Chains A and B, each alone.
Chain A
């Protein structure tokens, strides 16, 4: 690809006391690309996402976006720059209705003050995520699937250039996952660059152009979905050494 990457992650390390949660990870995300970030539990996916949105501080390394070094920006400045994110554990504002929740995103991101544009961004985000019928309810009055959608709607109302999604599909059923996949594609088609952390394998292979795999905080693979899933290291990380060895033995047996 000839254009410069939208998101450039270089040698990022994050430590919690003596534990190194993310260890020297580097990768790029290109314009309009959907990149998946996967790995076993505790691999450091969410930590890396938090590091990008500066909810965690980097021990070393750097992160830049559209050529600007953003690693030491305050989170709200990043939002104003066009970087939006969702949270794995949904964090709706409990005393605001669904619509008001979305409104916060439209009001503060990217410095849009005018009433009309805020209202338009809110209604668009609500319509895209199909929350119209529930817009005036409080978050605790809607289902988990709707709260997940609300996370997405809030991020969309920020009209971001880069979207970081943290497990927006966890806990959803097949139909719901299908809808979210279609929604993420639609968002990408509007010119948004997306980095997605996800456990639902089927979903991630369906939407991602590229997948980055983390294990124990280190990057062990970075490739097209089909290649990543057949990568020996990835199989080992997910299914264990014994499974990998058996697969390898089987493959050898077949070769003979």
Chain B
């Protein structure tokens, strides 16, 4: 084993400090910043979820909002049926993963644009389905979640913050584990050459389905916590395609296929978006759009890679 370098120690220290600061936020910052940070952490999870299927496997899933919505509705229905909030989160994650696995089996035969379009169609189809099922989902009228009166609103927001925080850490650990695991190798191999991977013994279909199921579970869990946060959900906001697009942009800005890039992208995008939002309410999307173009053109591999290279003094040029 190589001894830990002073640099590595510094990095670990910085990471620990960052985590500690985030953990202290509810006591240090006001409600406004806690809300913004909750939202950033949620997008961290969404971006990491995309990272698994897009960054690793190279399958451009533009419709992960489907799983966000499924997670949200699974939690809503589960709570309405009487299961508690915390117990409902894993249920929501499992339902999302199951749908991804079932739908992914046929859909992941498609590649490139075709797959991307199919995932968008999936988001729309599931939304329509929820509306038309009605009943326990609330249908077109939306679904009001049972209010938890045992906790003060402040306690609820704090709980939601910590859950999003925990989920963001968990999703990053999952991606980190993936980058060294058999599945991670399988995905990175099939991203470049599906034939090559197959001929070398990779069961590409199983690997792709597993990747999408993991992606869906993370996204679904984020959707579930979001639903509890909102207390009222409807198809339009739960299956909002802009969530997919935003998550995608964040992953691109941060650096897809990297472990920390999507986190950086989510923080960067949300913070800028908030700053711009408060200053230029009229031209918000325009400024944001220009910003995204500039970043993607100037840093096609995202901001994480160049930062890493800077840190390693330029010799460490490989991934």
Contacts and interface: CB of A to CB of B under 8 A. Distances in A.
Contacts of A59: none
Interface in B172-225: 182, 185-186, 188-189, 191-193, 195-204
B200 A109 contact: yes
B319 A79 contact: no
Contact of B200 (A100, A105, A136, A137): A105
Interface string A70-96: 000011100110001101000111111
B199 A96 contact: no
B109 interface: no
Interface string A32-67: 000000000000000000000101000000000000
B257 interface: yes
Counting chain B CB atoms within 10 Å of each CB, which of A80, A92, A93, A136 scores highest?
A93
A9 B65 CA distance: 49
Contacts of B188: 93, 95-96, 100
Given A136-B318, A138-B318, A104 B189 contact: yes
Interface in A79-123: 79-80, 84-85, 87, 91-97, 100, 103-105, 107-110, 113
A149 interface: no
A108 B318 contact: no
Interface of A: 53, 55, 74-76, 79-80, 84-85, 87, 91-97, 100, 103-105, 107-110, 113, 136-138, 154, 158
B189 A93 contact: yes
The 6 closest A-B pairs by CB, nearest first: A79-B201, A108-B201, A109-B201, A91-B196, A75-B198, A91-B193
Given A100-B188, A138-B319, 19 more contacts: A53-B199, A74-B198, A84-B199, A84-B200, A87-B195, A91-B195, A93-B193, A93-B196, A95-B188, A95-B191, A95-B257, A96-B188, A100-B185, A104-B189, A104-B202, A105-B200, A108-B185, A108-B200, A158-B201
23 contacts: A55-B198, A74-B198, A75-B198, A75-B199, A76-B202, A80-B201, A87-B195, A87-B196, A91-B193, A91-B196, A92-B192, A92-B196, A93-B193, A93-B196, A100-B185, A104-B185, A107-B182, A107-B201, A108-B182, A108-B200, A138-B318, A138-B319, A154-B200
A119 B191 CA distance: 23
Interface of B: 182, 185-186, 188-189, 191-193, 195-204, 257, 318-319
A105 B192 contact: no
Contacts of B182: 107-108, 113
A125 B113 CA distance: 37
B185 A103 contact: yes
B186 A108 contact: yes
Contacts of B202: 76, 79, 104, 108
Contacts of A97: 318-319
Contacts of A103: 185
A95 B58 CA distance: 11
A96 B188 CA distance: 7
Given A93-B188, A93-B189, A95-B188, A110 B201 contact: yes
